[in-house]
Structure 1
Amino acid sequence: MPEIPALPSYASGISDVPLLGDTIGDNFDRTVAAFGDRDALVDREAGSRWTYRELAAEVNTLAHGLVATGIGKGERVGIWAPNRAEWTLLQYATAKIGAILVNINPAYRAHELEYVLNQAGVRMLVAAERFKTSDYAGMIEQVRPKCPGLEHVVLLGTDSWTGLRESGRGGDPAVLAGLQASLSADDPINIQYTSGTTGFPKGATLSHHNILNNGFFVGELCNYTEQDRVCIPVPFYHCFGMVMGNLACTSHGACMVIPAPGFDPKATLAAVAAERCTSLYGVPTMFIAELNDPDFATHDLSSLRTGIMAGSPCPVEVMRQVIDRMGMTEVSICYGMTETSPVSTQTRADDSVARRVSTVGRVGPHLESKVVDPETGLTVGRGTPGELCTRGYSVMLGYWEEPEKTAEAIDAARWMHTGDLAVMDEDGYVNITGRIKDMVIRGGENVYPREIEEFLYTHPDILDAQVIGVPDVKYGEELMAWVRMREGAEPLTAEAVREFCQGKLAHYKIPRYVHVVAEFPMTVTGKVRKVEMRRQSVTLLGLEQVAEQRHA
């Protein structure tokens, strides 16, 4: 008898719940009609809170203000700010009129800001004046002459923000209703930049349909209802905050709680306790900081039942403590990427702890996943490693104005190739085992070494540079630069490299370790062997025990 072929590494997400066909604005209005008197948004630092009815009034006023300023459907509005209520207001106001919200990473420096403003064609930029050590207003003034398409700059907390809102007061509701009615769920509504392997970030362009449904189904798998209150310490500029956080809440009538503008473990724990949050989000680094806070035991976290941990691999012991000490018995692990809105696989509330600490779950509702041989593109059998691919409603429209790069990522059958190595087991659960490319995930931030290498090449004493990820207890991975010096130059220290990068690269892109070498490990064909560099670095830095730590 012929041998029966192995079950293919393919899975589709079955669901009795249909996809939403709404635009974000229409879906938001349905929630307001159903749950108008319930809490919608709490900004702890500002001391502000809104019911859904109050939030809708603010959103509509801002939408009218955008229209009065001349912002129309398809035009790009940038947001450059840490987490605050105004971020959320702008997210829904732009969705109501069909303007495309461009998320700008608060850690960006001037040259990164300039690139994004020009590449996306941002017409209006809404920004905080400053945050921590970042002088946003100063950097905007620095790049503005080089951004001819940027017509309006609105700084939060200043007269320009007040003026934008005031210009929308008394707007005709029929005008806004007409604008909403002219929108399609398939229209682009959001551009999120991901670090690029060529040294420049790419703008993943997402539709109403992409992100509204992803937020909704992530919320469904967390069993959200209007009774839930979700603490969101993860950044809004990323899908984790604005999709899995905000859109998961508004599509269920749940309350969004902003504990602080940036992550602060004390503020997060205090917010959960004071607001009786039922769900808490974070990357493993955040949960580790919360669990290790000296005042952890003083906070009443008894309201928690669920939450999401994503962004980087979760150490097994951290997951167990989140369940045991924080009471998050239904905590969910999610896996995805910005290009897939973001979540592709997720653990379920009834999954065993073993599943939640050893896999990233199984494919989400209405989505497909497969694992393919990277060389042939053919689907491999269950239990065989290969590249993870995703298809369905969540796959982005494409990279903004970069069709060639879009075609490299999304094949003719609309499968998104993640670049991640994975294994799918007999039950469809996925384990991420590595990355085909050299991307480093540091504390939930995707970092592409090529971008940093190209910057290091600009140092007058560096002949060549290779950047790799090495294991790290706190961040999952940390950056290490191997450098070759020009003849006669003094060897560089890690401190000197950090000083060179300071203020020019986002903080999470600055290498922690530097190793000066005469030559890099090479293959016979002349390619740098980064796998060998990582192996040597683990020994060199004494990270053997960290490298052996088990992760989900």
Structure 2
Amino acid sequence: MAFSDLSFDSALADRLAWQQAGDDRPVFVEETGHAVLPDAFDTLVEGTAAWLLDQGITAGDRVAVWLPNKLEWMMLLFGCARIGATVAAVNTRYRTAELSHILSSSGARMLIFDAKSQHSDFYGMIGELDFSKLPDLKALVSLDPNADRLAPVGGLPVQHFGRHALPGRTVTRTGTADSPLILFTTSGTTNLPKLVLHLQRTVGWHANQCVSAFGFDEPTARYMAVMPFCGVFGIVPTLTSIASGAPIYLNEVFNLGLALKTAKDNAITHMFGSDDMFVQMWETDKSAFDVARICGFASFTPGIEEKLARIAATGVPLAGLYGASELNALYSIQSLDLPVAERLRGGGQPAAGKDASIRVRNPETGELCPANEVGILEFRTAGNFVGYYRNPEATEKAIDEEGYFNSGDAGYLREDGSFVYLARNGDFLRLSGFLTDPKEIEEVIEGFPGVEKCQVVGIPVDGKTRTFAFVVSENGPLEEAAILEQASARLAHYKIPVRIIQLDAFPTTESANGLKIQKNKLREQAEQIITAGD
């Protein structure tokens, strides 16, 4: 089993040993069809580690990675692991405000970003940063081969990182199982995300558990990497594939045509993604699932359940998953032996089996719930995160004295020890596959001139959950178009409200703790406005 000592070097050592024994399966296959064998990948990782050291990155430093699913993402992850540095994963959909928060809160010493694409101008957004608030940031690096032509930003020249210009020397391996490996973002109680810290051992241990639990150890297993590496949903199955020897077919972003071609041309057996992704693929070309063994999905799209049930009934191995940045993705999966209605629920049996402890607590009484009683899900597993980076107060609230993580998610245990995830315990939203706290959007909008307060709700629009904002002001009328324009510059596109409506006051009701805003009434009003087309 790879990750034998739960550090990342052990995973590649195993793959190199397998290659020397005649196992010629590649680690990665890029979109171009270029196959990267274990020895070639190890050389790239060693070169990356040496390059990082040459740039002044050492054990304990944080490197922010703002890239799509390219081979360079994995080179940097393993290269940082080799020298004991930490990757701060940045969502490629993030904009300046979110990027600034991650750079500041992580104390990143280096930011590595992609070349300009049709979707994002990374360099342009970096130019909007307030570098006076980023004293730790010392280097800007781009994958753009013409990076040396880019003007310095914030007094920092833009350097180039590329696989064809890496140092050809070995490095001293200082990363260990207990080295901080990666920082993921997750929604918090303030206006911007918290940073979830995982060690090499927590991520490596969980990847090991997923190998047999998800059938990656079958000789002909092949995985298509579509979900972004900036989150656990993209990272975990990729590392599981490395641990098992299954080849990884890279898709930089989800593109329907490319995903179908990749699945069919390469006999893909393992796919993980959103519910809508599988529906799109099925409705376009059913043959993409001819050899599929597992199609694990997360429920992101409202009103799509009937389509999923029809697809599953034809024999497609769709199964509901559960995961969180704090727990890792592929934390659990529903058994394919269950009736369709049950196997399409979130949750299931944990990949860690008996090594995972799950309990459900009544949020009102504080007592533990018996099987089939709904409460808040709590988890304790060796793959759990170790805390929120530089945020001990949030960590103390999330992890109890026994080591259980309070997920804040509602669900219940089945009699057989598996569980069912029902919903976020509160008003959190699933937007484009990302769990999002409306407060992130509300506080950004409240920062605009004239906006006193903001409330954001989620409503279905054209089959997807979209945000709808209500604002109040003491300074007279507000211009909706101007606020939307400003929001577009500061928020990821999936967070931008479909409308922003001004009210004289929010609807409220009395509660034991004072006045409470009635978000249900705001949702109703938002749906009426969208339906009426006002």
Question: TM-score, with normalisation over the residues of structure 2?
Answer: 0.88
Residue identity matched to 2:377: L
Within a 5 Å distance, the mapping from 1:151-166 to structure 2 comes to 151-158=138-145, 165=163
Within a 5 Å distance, the mapping from 1:428-467 to structure 2 comes to 428-467=417-456
Identity of aligned residues (%): 26
In the TM superposition, residue 168 of structure 1 has moved relative to its aligned partner by 4.4
Is contact 2:319-2:345 (8 Å) kept? no
Task: For 2:161 and 2:324, locate their aligned partners in 1 and report how far apart those are by CA, in whole Å.
Answer: 37
In the TM superposition, residue 107 of structure 1 has moved relative to its aligned partner by 1.2
The change in CA–CA distance for 1:447 and 1:359 in structure 2 (over 3 A counts) is: closer
Is contact 1:65-1:167 (8 Å) kept? no
Task: For 2:494 and 2:457, locate their aligned partners in 1 and report how far apart those are by CA, in whole Å.
Answer: 13
Task: For 2:482 and 2:128, locate their aligned partners in 1 and report how far apart those are by CA, in whole Å.
Answer: 26
Is contact 2:141-2:160 (8 Å) kept? no
User: Match of 2:16?
Assistant: 32
1:275 matched to 2:263? The reply is no
1:289 to 276, 280, 293: 280
Task: For 2:484 and 2:276, locate their aligned partners in 1 and report how far apart those are by CA, in whole Å.
Answer: 22
User: Match of 2:82?
Assistant: 96
Larger RCO (CA within 8 A; separation ≥ 6): 1
2:206 to 192, 197, 214: 214
Residue identity matched to 1:32: L
Task: For 1:369 and 1:519, locate their aligned partners in 2 and report how far apart those are by CA, in whole Å.
Answer: 42
Within a 5 Å distance, the mapping from 1:31-50 to structure 2 comes to 31-35=15-19, 37-44=24-31, 46-50=32-36
Task: For 2:288 and 2:259, locate their aligned partners in 1 and report how far apart those are by CA, in whole Å.
Answer: 12
Q: What are the superposed Cα offsets for residues 192-242 of structure 1, whole Å, 9 maximum, x if unpaired?
A: 111322102111000112112222323322211252111111111111111
SS of the residue 2:489 aligns to: coil
Task: For 1:189 and 1:467, locate their aligned partners in 2 and report how far apart those are by CA, in whole Å.
Answer: 34
Is contact 1:127-1:155 (8 Å) kept? yes
1:136 matched to 2:122? The reply is yes
The change in CA–CA distance for 1:163 and 1:407 in structure 2 (over 3 A counts) is: closer
Q: What are the superposed Cα offsets for residues 430-451 of structure 1, whole Å, 9 maximum, x if unpaired?
A: 2333322321111311111112
Provide the aligned C-alpha RMSD in A: 2.7
Within a 5 Å distance, the mapping from 1:296-445 to structure 2 comes to 296=285, 300-310=288-298, 312=300, 315-323=304-312, 328-329=316-317, 331-365=318-352, 366-445=355-434
1:534 matched to 2:532? The reply is no
Is contact 1:79-1:126 (8 Å) kept? yes
Task: For 1:83 and 1:321, locate their aligned partners in 2 and report how far apart those are by CA, in whole Å.
Answer: 31
Within a 5 Å distance, the mapping from 1:172-211 to structure 2 comes to 172=170, 175-176=171-172, 179=173, 182-211=174-203
User: Match of 1:169?
Assistant: 167
Residue identity matched to 1:31: R
In the TM superposition, residue 529 of structure 1 has moved relative to its aligned partner by 2.0
Task: For 2:270 and 2:84, locate their aligned partners in 1 and report how far apart those are by CA, in whole Å.
Answer: 30
Task: For 2:527 and 2:371, locate their aligned partners in 1 and report how far apart those are by CA, in whole Å.
Answer: 31
In the TM superposition, residue 83 of structure 1 has moved relative to its aligned partner by 1.4
Task: For 1:408 and 1:531, locate their aligned partners in 2 and report how far apart those are by CA, in whole Å.
Answer: 27
User: Match of 1:65?
Assistant: 51
User: Match of 1:229?
Assistant: 222
The change in CA–CA distance for 1:212 and 1:188 in structure 2 (over 3 A counts) is: same
Deviating runs (4+, > 4 A) in structure 1? 17-20, 159-168, 535-543
Task: For 1:519 and 1:128, locate their aligned partners in 2 and report how far apart those are by CA, in whole Å.
Answer: 44
User: Match of 1:509?
Assistant: 495
In the TM superposition, residue 113 of structure 1 has moved relative to its aligned partner by 1.4
In the TM superposition, residue 419 of structure 1 has moved relative to its aligned partner by 1.0
In the TM superposition, residue 306 of structure 1 has moved relative to its aligned partner by 1.5
1:54 to 19, 36, 40: 40
The change in CA–CA distance for 1:137 and 1:19 in structure 2 (over 3 A counts) is: closer
In the TM superposition, residue 542 of structure 1 has moved relative to its aligned partner by 5.0
Larger mean CA deviation between 202-211 and 429-438 belongs to: 429-438
The change in CA–CA distance for 1:20 and 1:521 in structure 2 (over 3 A counts) is: farther
Task: For 1:128 and 1:122, locate their aligned partners in 2 and report how far apart those are by CA, in whole Å.
Answer: 17
Aligned residues: 510
Q: What are the superposed Cα offsets for residues 490-538 of structure 1, whole Å, 9 maximum, x if unpaired?
A: 6x55x55533311211111111244443332212121112234335545
Larger mean CA deviation between 124-133 and 529-538 belongs to: 529-538
Is contact 2:87-2:181 (8 Å) kept? yes
Residue identity matched to 2:168: G
Question: TM-score, with normalisation over the residues of structure 1?
Answer: 0.85
Task: For 1:540 and 1:387, locate their aligned partners in 2 and report how far apart those are by CA, in whole Å.
Answer: 34
Residue identity matched to 1:239: V
Residue identity matched to 1:503: A
Residue identity matched to 1:279: H
SS of the residue 2:244 aligns to: coil
The change in CA–CA distance for 1:485 and 1:141 in structure 2 (over 3 A counts) is: closer
Within a 5 Å distance, the mapping from 1:74-113 to structure 2 comes to 74-113=60-99
Residue identity matched to 2:135: P
Is contact 2:281-2:288 (8 Å) kept? no
Unaligned runs of 5+ in 2: 148-158
SS of the residue 1:212 aligns to: helix
2:466 to 475, 478, 483: 478
Task: For 1:257 and 1:360, locate their aligned partners in 2 and report how far apart those are by CA, in whole Å.
Answer: 26
